[in-house]
Structure 1
């Protein structure tokens, strides 16, 4: 299912914030078309739906750039790589989009990225993946890198005296990224990684893997899951009576993770982007205002408060696209042309110090990630809410 969202969003928001903000007043504008692929259904819908709501909030915040209307066409890939690739091809060849954005997880994002690179269309990736090969020259990744975030876990472990850690994560590219990041950062810190257990996103039990972990008597456990399926190892640990420290990553900062995990995920420690605890940040942090503005607008657009980290990645993706479009237009290239796609790619990969809700973004051609230590804080789940750790 596909749909144009920016016109509807702008119309709904006009009464709230003023029509001129969205380019609705005055002469009709041309369009910069954004193709947005996400998983509204399937195993990653608990992530894909917030991404969609974040994009809608971005469209409400910035509806036009340089006299050109920003519009987007959304397609549900159902967390199916083949569907994501077909969606990317349709958006490029039939809808003539200028840039792609998506998706909810590594498999569909990598599939769409391959099509984007083949067609020479820039791609703003909002899943946590590194696009390989030529695709690296046509893409950037919005979320913080696994190494950056897992390093924060390891620093906390070292501070509290942890010497051994067991790992369990998804049996896919995300699980690999987290495990490799743990190995890279833990061993130099003097922390031994005892296990590398895996499970599929659709699995309903990880009892066998947890029994193997408990047999090693780790000081702590780190999980490499995301969204709703990310709660499964924590539930299994609680069922087996484990009471030691449990760590995870920014991929589990999600209301469905908290709901499904219940008491079993109380006390989980994880790194996340600053927006998750925006009201707890220092006033001197430049991210605080952007994050609070996002949270306020999100509630107006979606008629509910934001309860996860994922919507904000969609919003930051929109901010990056809008900033890139402004600079691409300054080259004289026209939307809807191959020249504009190249100009968008060049602008996107030269983004400098752009303040978003999750970080301050600086990108370089061929390098996926654009965030640094300013984009992470450590939090702990306390009575169903995330609390900032010192």
Structure 2
């Protein structure tokens, strides 16, 4: 009897060990598919179905939550994924302020966070908390350098700025101030507005009063449209630049003729048919666009691709992490972080990723194209 009981115990232990070894890799995804930044969050939520379902012989399971664009709800969703779902990594949230508010929880729990947000402040300056964060969009400086080069070549000497009053707009103000000073461009106005504002008349009048050669609008998603249309309505005739935050179909639809001639630096996805076939990201981007369009009936915004690329980064990192721990354990999460940091020449939809301890975004110039709006369409600026 004792022998049978011992055998049963051993078999049960072996079964439990087997179940642990075969546990799914669980990934949380937080998006703002409702609320003020839904234009960003909806394509991100829609991209989950297209992401890898297996890596290293293990199934990947995604747990998706919507934070309604509310940073407080983001924190609640984040803690739910950590405490109840016991996820191995989290992708999201959609907004820069939302992401800044959960970095400490990612670090405290030792859980990799793949942030598909605009501001570089989630990974720079690097510190003990931010070493758990990986950013799947181009850092502001990479985009800003392309815009500044164009300004210099075209004789821009004075620049006005209108940006959101949040980490996205604030970091762009910091980055552009440094680049402008370095390149002999004077920033004559730097105004802020809230994403939910219904008017920026006061801010745009202050910018216009300084008669800048060009204006840069630093705002993500739909909030990028109103400052530009307001400037046009008030008679501004100078060049308007936008950041990669404006890289979505709705910018063209909402702005109409008033955004014609806009210049921005952003993902090759916007001009995929004009990009040379030998670009390392073209095939990846083309597949994502085609699969997304087939599933949803319309082409994706680049914001969706930022979540899709997070899936590719995890797919690439998981096999290495499995050698050091099992899903659901601190060892696995730590190994996953280390593997993400070692990403080398991984082609995503947005560009090529090369991560390091200092660089948790990993893009180079292959992650941007200089683009303009012509005839209501994105066109490669040549």
* 1:348-359 pair list within 5 angstroms: 348-359=340-351
Structure 1 match to 2:50: 57
Structure 1 match to 2:263: 269
For residue 366 of structure 1, report the CA deviation from its aligned partner.
5.0
Structure 2 match to 1:216: 210
* 1:233-382 pair list within 5 angstroms: 233-306=227-300, 308-329=301-322, 331-382=323-374
Separation of aligned partners in 1, 2:239 and 2:267: 21
Task: State whether residues 341 and 360 of structure 2, in contact with CA within 8 Å, keep that contact through their aligned partners in structure 1.
Answer: no
Separation of aligned partners in 2, 1:334 and 1:135: 23
Separation of aligned partners in 1, 2:115 and 2:370: 24
Separation of aligned partners in 1, 2:352 and 2:187: 31
Q: 1:42 aligns with which of 35, 40, 48?
A: 35
Q: 2:61 aligns with which of 65, 68, 71?
A: 71
For residue 273 of structure 1, report the CA deviation from its aligned partner.
1.2
For residue 277 of structure 1, report the CA deviation from its aligned partner.
1.2
Q: Could you list the runs of 5+ residues in structure 2 that have no partner in the other structure?
A: 1-20
Structure 2 match to 1:11: none
Aligned-pair Cα RMSD in Å: 1.5
1:385 matched to 2:377? The reply is yes
Separation of aligned partners in 1, 2:338 and 2:220: 31
Structure 2 match to 1:187: 181
Moved more, 362-371 or 68-77: 362-371
TM-score by length of 1: 0.89
Separation of aligned partners in 1, 2:35 and 2:170: 21
Task: State whether residues 77 and 108 of structure 1, in contact with CA within 8 Å, keep that contact through their aligned partners in structure 2.
Answer: no
Separation of aligned partners in 1, 2:358 and 2:35: 31
Structure 2 match to 1:124: 114
User: Over residues 330-369 of structure 1, what are the superposed CA-to-partner deviations in whole Å (9 max), with x where a residue is unaligned?
Assistant: x241111111111111111111110011110011235332
Equivalenced residues, count: 358
Q: Secondary structure at the match of 1:168?
A: strand
Q: Secondary structure at the match of 2:91?
A: strand
Structure 2 match to 1:85: 75
Separation of aligned partners in 1, 2:75 and 2:368: 32
Q: 1:173 aligns with which of 167, 171, 185?
A: 167
Task: State whether residues 90 and 112 of structure 2, in contact with CA within 8 Å, keep that contact through their aligned partners in structure 1.
Answer: yes
Structure 2 match to 1:31: 24
User: Over residues 49-91 of structure 1, what are the superposed CA-to-partner deviations in whole Å (9 max), with x where a residue is unaligned?
Assistant: 1111223222xxx211122111111111111111111111110
Task: State whether residues 136 and 366 of structure 1, in contact with CA within 8 Å, keep that contact through their aligned partners in structure 2.
Answer: no
Task: Detail structure 1 runs of 4+ shifted over 4 Å in the superposition.
Answer: none
Q: Secondary structure at the match of 1:204?
A: coil
Separation of aligned partners in 1, 2:257 and 2:220: 18
Separation of aligned partners in 1, 2:313 and 2:114: 8
1:207 matched to 2:201? The reply is yes
Separation of aligned partners in 1, 2:374 and 2:302: 17
Separation of aligned partners in 2, 1:367 and 1:280: 29
Task: State whether residues 136 and 367 of structure 1, in contact with CA within 8 Å, keep that contact through their aligned partners in structure 2.
Answer: no
For residue 29 of structure 1, report the CA deviation from its aligned partner.
5.9
